[in-house]
Structure 1
Amino acid sequence: MAVDPRTPVIVGVGQFTERIDDPAYRGMSAVELATAAVQAALVDTGADAAVVAAAIDTVFGLRQFEISGPMPATLGKSNNYPRSVMKRVGGDPARVVLEPVGGQGPQKLVTEAGNLIVAGDADVVMIMGSEPGSTAKYFAGRDDKPDFTEHVDGQLEDRGHQIYNYIDEYTVTHGLTGAPVQYGLLDNARRSRLGLGVGPYRHLMAELFAPMSKVAAKNPFSASLVERSVEEVETVTGENRMICDPYPRFLVARDTVNQGAAAVLTSVEAARKLGVPEEKWVYLHGHSDLVEQALLERVDLGASPAAVAAAHEALRVAGLGVDDIATFDLYSCFPFPVFVICEALGLSADDPRGLTLTGGLPYFGGPGNSYSLHGIAETVAQMRDRPGQFGFVGANGGIMSKYSVGIYSTEPVGWRTSRSAELTAEVAERPRVAVTKSPEGAATIETYSVRHDWPVRTGIIVGRLDADGSRFMATSEDADLVALMTEADPLGANITVTPTDNGNRAVLR
């Protein structure tokens, strides 16, 4: 099939992992990790790597955790992460961009890059990401800390971290300061909707995730090469300790990793000029980028209409059904996002196609905002090995706040547009729940988590006031209530909530 010369194609992908038990481990910086991945992506094009690097006109960089909020990078950072990397590989792009926080970012940027290429606003684009979480942990208690501070001149379009799109003073005051507790609320809300007990639901989560560890154990870029059984994943032990209900550690994204990933996109015309062999070209057949309602306003905290719509829209754009998909890589920071897409597409935990190509965030590694760039890299490699087949990448950001999907294949196809903006507007118009910031009186628990990672075990509650059905958040250190939340099932329990100067407090009634 002949396609327009401006049609975008992915022509190179690269990954890099530095494991703590590697003999040569040295604790690399975000720039060093990304550089290794970028070098691999340039080589992967099959063309002259130096020529491709020099031709890159646009670079998108994904944020690391250390620059994803107001706290300073403890080991120092580059003032221009994308240019620091490109300087090391001999590139001098006209435009570099630093993307906001969000795990949907890699797939969203592939679509954005495709639109730029089609419009003639870019010819050769690099997308890069890295996460030095292992380095930060390794040097935390040491005196020989490195200084990764670096100053590079040149243009930078910094879109800001935008972390406050996902959290605010109210949610932070009530303990939503990390992903495990945030997603714990969602998974427990889903369990409530399904009418399942704590044990049976944890078994379902383990059945969903344990097969991913088998993939991770065979992936040379994985942070952990250990295969886990269902029993190991669901059984709480010293090694598999509770983090935040309902999650023991083996159900939580592994964020203390050193990983980098990169992808090179060009127009078909530029790929030919650069000498990239056609067997390297992978096309984006379907794509979507949707935004969910604000967390506390969603009618069903155990669902994600935006993610469901994103999955179906990408398939529609591609002109495919779920049976046409050969591979999946579903964002798996916790079970909830995977459950959502499996329900939407009719997939089961034991689907013979598998649900991940990397091995999943708890096992392969959860390199922050850049995880799905690894999923894209694996999908591109798989599609080259399976000409004409299709790979589905699902990327999730925030508190199930944004969802992006890409469908890849070597089969040539012209660029297609999606209805993402229209569908996001439809999601925004869905009914909303009223939120009371300072509730008082009789109430019930709608969903919950428990922070086992705090010095004092604390219950985190989303509840409904009996008086008007409005939703609120509260915390509790009440012995009886926390015991119910950790040893039994508090869903629907009767509580009394009282506002204080430092958040709302709940006790059993």
Structure 2
Amino acid sequence: MTDKSPIPEDRIPVIVGIGEIVDRPQEITEGLEPLDLLEQALRRAEADAGAKLLGEVQSLDVVNFLSWRYRDPEKLLAQRLGILPAHCYYGPVGGETPIRYIHEAAKRIARGECNVAAVCGAEAQSTVTKADRAGVKLPWTPFAHDVAEPKRGAAFQKPLAIKLGVFRPVTVYPFYEAASSAHWGQTPHEAMAESGTLWSRYSDAAAQNPNAWLKRRYAAEEITTPTADNRLIAWPYNKLMVANPSVNMGGALLLTSLARARALGIAEQKLVYPLGGASAEDPPDYLVRDQFFESHPQNAVLKAVMDLAGGDGKKFDAIELYSCFPCVPKMARRTLGLSADVQPTVNGGLTFFGAPLNTYMTHAACAMVRRIRGGDKLGLLYGQGGFVTKHHGLVVAKAPPRDALAQETSVQAEADRNKRAVPEFVNEASGKSKVESFTVLYGRGGDVEHGVVMLRTEDAKRTLARIPAGDSTTLVHLLNMDRTPVGSLGEITMAADGVPEWRVA
């Protein structure tokens, strides 16, 4: 038997440059617009690589941004850089997209379709919000009012979910939070303690990251205790447990082939190798999923990346588990077989590092490159988008790959194979029912607006129902910290406005 021939160096993709910018202007009008942030991040990535690469970019991916609207931002950016890339793409909304773009760029290099690829993203939401509040006109590229806003959460949800206010991430992820912790046999008190400890670890990483928006450590109790500054939004989430989008940030990565990197004299210690990854997704309407205590696409993606690490999640020296809400890394670390004392981030998390909306994982990838350059051998980047909807994992390493980069990354068939029967959703119901999951929504002043329960009816159908703020008995039952209400029984009645209401038995 002969050894298989080595992979040609011009077909081995490498990450060679990373660049980040954080903009904290003294005056609102001095704030940089997203296009400026993108350009500066790319120029910093080129400087980091130590070689003239931007003029050679043949593949440019720009992560979707929401703080400002442009017509064809990817083309505007290419013009600024003086390039005409064959692949020039501005993508859809999704927190997993930076990882997907890095992975796809690596595959283009591996196929010989391009020599140099760039992936970048930016947001300037902090400046935009301040300008709106102050009534200040920003001296930026004119806002493209005729460009449609991208489709987001509410566009895919059922009318009853919208009527009850459970169509935004902060009001939907609690369904996974309650269902998963009940499935693991935790009391709500234990689940909250796990979230606080985990989030405190994200804040630890942010405190040490010069690019983080909130650079201080938060104790677990600080994170989980509601206060005027840390108000409850949707049970069990306080402000310090959710993403913080009010930031100004840009991030970029440059990739090339090993052959080109060596020809340009890029230092070997700068090179980080993508080894492969996986993707899968669920339907965007969260109410057509079989259950809420685990995510089949997440499981399939994480098992695939574990296989790349020899079938063991503990082989990763560094990991970044997406952190829009605690349930996501809590589910992920269990699938990866990692213990409760895991360090889940190299970057700092969407609460503390900051959440430049879809592009957080661009920054996490930059942080991971620094970690691998610093001596870690194997890293995992796991991004997620929607309502536990879209998932992408990517493995990066210090050493070159033994095998060519696999071109098929979808593990959708595996995710779908594990899906059980989905209950029929009904808008009207009455009689006995069982709690599948729940949340309670709060106003800005800290008062309960209403509770929302996801229910299974006696004939095994699914519905949503309201608990009015005046039903203190049912609300006390839902918010009991010693015993989960998941699985408890009650009665559905139809209210005068045509919305189901639920009362505990």
TM over 0.5: yes
What amino acid maps onto 2:436 in structure 1?
Answer: E
Distance apart, 1:6 and its partner CA: 1.8
- The number of residue pairs the alignment matches comes to 486
Q: Residues 445 and 144 from structure 1, CA distance in 2 versus in 1: closer, same or farther, beyond 3 angstroms?
A: same
1:243 to 233, 239, 243: 233
1:397 corresponds to which residue? Answer: 385
SS at match of 2:121: strand
Please tell me whether the aligned partners of residues 312 and 336 of structure 2 are also in contact (alpha carbons under 8 angstroms): no
1:449 to 430, 433, 439: 439
1:216 to 201, 206, 221: 206
Cα distance in 2 for partners of 1:137, 1:476 equals 33
2:36 corresponds to which residue? Answer: 32
Q: Does 1:144 pair with 2:136? A: yes
Q: Which moved more, 1:223-232 or 1:316-325?
A: 316-325
SS at match of 1:216: helix
Please tell me whether the aligned partners of residues 306 and 336 of structure 2 are also in contact (alpha carbons under 8 angstroms): no
Q: Does 1:18 pair with 2:23? A: yes
Provide structure 2 residue ranges, at least 5 long, that are not aligned to the other structure: none
Q: Does 1:410 pair with 2:402? A: no
1:41 corresponds to which residue? Answer: 45
- Within a 5 Å distance, the mapping from 1:96-495 to structure 2 comes to 96-146=88-138, 148-150=140-142, 161-163=150-152, 167-170=156-159, 171-292=161-282, 295-319=286-310, 321-351=312-342, 354-386=343-375, 389-413=377-401, 414-417=403-406, 420-421=409-410, 423-429=411-417, 430-442=419-431, 443-453=433-443, 457-466=449-458, 468-480=459-471, 483-484=475-476, 487-488=479-480, 490-491=485-486, 492-495=488-491
Please tell me whether the aligned partners of residues 297 and 433 of structure 1 are also in contact (alpha carbons under 8 angstroms): yes
Q: Which moved more, 1:255-264 or 1:442-451?
A: 442-451
What percentage of residue pairs aligned between the two structures are identical?
A: 25
Please tell me whether the aligned partners of residues 243 and 355 of structure 2 are also in contact (alpha carbons under 8 angstroms): yes
Please tell me whether the aligned partners of residues 172 and 387 of structure 2 are also in contact (alpha carbons under 8 angstroms): yes
2:64 corresponds to which residue? Answer: 63
Cα distance in 2 for partners of 1:380, 1:183 equals 30
Cα distance in 1 for partners of 2:169, 2:500 equals 21
> What do the CA deviations read for 1:137-189 (whole angstroms, capped 9, x no partner)?
2112112221533599xxxxx99945369832433333233211111111011
Q: Which moved more, 1:80-89 or 1:406-415?
A: 80-89
CA RMSD of aligned residues (A): 2.8
SS at match of 1:243: strand
Q: Residues 463 and 378 from structure 1, CA distance in 2 versus in 1: closer, same or farther, beyond 3 angstroms?
A: same
Q: Residues 166 and 307 from structure 1, CA distance in 2 versus in 1: closer, same or farther, beyond 3 angstroms?
A: farther
Distance apart, 1:485 and its partner CA: 6.3
Please tell me whether the aligned partners of residues 92 and 150 of structure 2 are also in contact (alpha carbons under 8 angstroms): yes
1:8 to 8, 13, 18: 13
Distance apart, 1:337 and its partner CA: 0.9
Distance apart, 1:220 and its partner CA: 0.6
Cα distance in 1 for partners of 2:489, 2:128 equals 41
> What do the CA deviations read for 1:9-62 (whole angstroms, capped 9, x no partner)?
111111111247x689933322122222112111111113xxx11111121111
Q: Residues 140 and 177 from structure 1, CA distance in 2 versus in 1: closer, same or farther, beyond 3 angstroms?
A: farther
Q: Which moved more, 1:210-219 or 1:473-482?
A: 473-482
Cα distance in 2 for partners of 1:403, 1:476 equals 33
Q: Which moved more, 1:239-248 or 1:497-506?
A: 497-506
Provide structure 1 residue ranges, at least 5 long, that are not aligned to the other structure: 67-72, 153-157
Q: Which moved more, 1:242-251 or 1:186-195?
A: 186-195
SS at match of 2:51: coil
Q: Residues 169 and 30 from structure 1, CA distance in 2 versus in 1: closer, same or farther, beyond 3 angstroms?
A: farther
TM-score by length of 2: 0.88
Cα distance in 1 for partners of 2:420, 2:399 equals 41
> What do the CA deviations read for 1:193-239 (whole angstroms, capped 9, x no partner)?
13333322211110111122111111110010121011211211112
Distance apart, 1:473 and its partner CA: 2.0
Please tell me whether the aligned partners of residues 296 and 416 of structure 2 are also in contact (alpha carbons under 8 angstroms): no
SS at match of 1:362: helix
1:69 corresponds to which residue? Answer: none
Cα distance in 1 for partners of 2:421, 2:39 equals 45
SS at match of 1:113: helix
Distance apart, 1:257 and its partner CA: 1.2
TM-score by length of 1: 0.88
Please tell me whether the aligned partners of residues 326 and 390 of structure 1 are also in contact (alpha carbons under 8 angstroms): yes
Q: Residues 358 and 164 from structure 1, CA distance in 2 versus in 1: closer, same or farther, beyond 3 angstroms?
A: closer
Please tell me whether the aligned partners of residues 97 and 159 of structure 1 are also in contact (alpha carbons under 8 angstroms): no
Q: Residues 340 and 59 from structure 1, CA distance in 2 versus in 1: closer, same or farther, beyond 3 angstroms?
A: same
- Within a 5 Å distance, the mapping from 1:61-100 to structure 2 comes to 61-66=62-67, 73=68, 77-100=69-92
Q: Which moved more, 1:141-150 or 1:327-336?
A: 141-150
Q: Residues 390 and 163 from structure 1, CA distance in 2 versus in 1: closer, same or farther, beyond 3 angstroms?
A: same
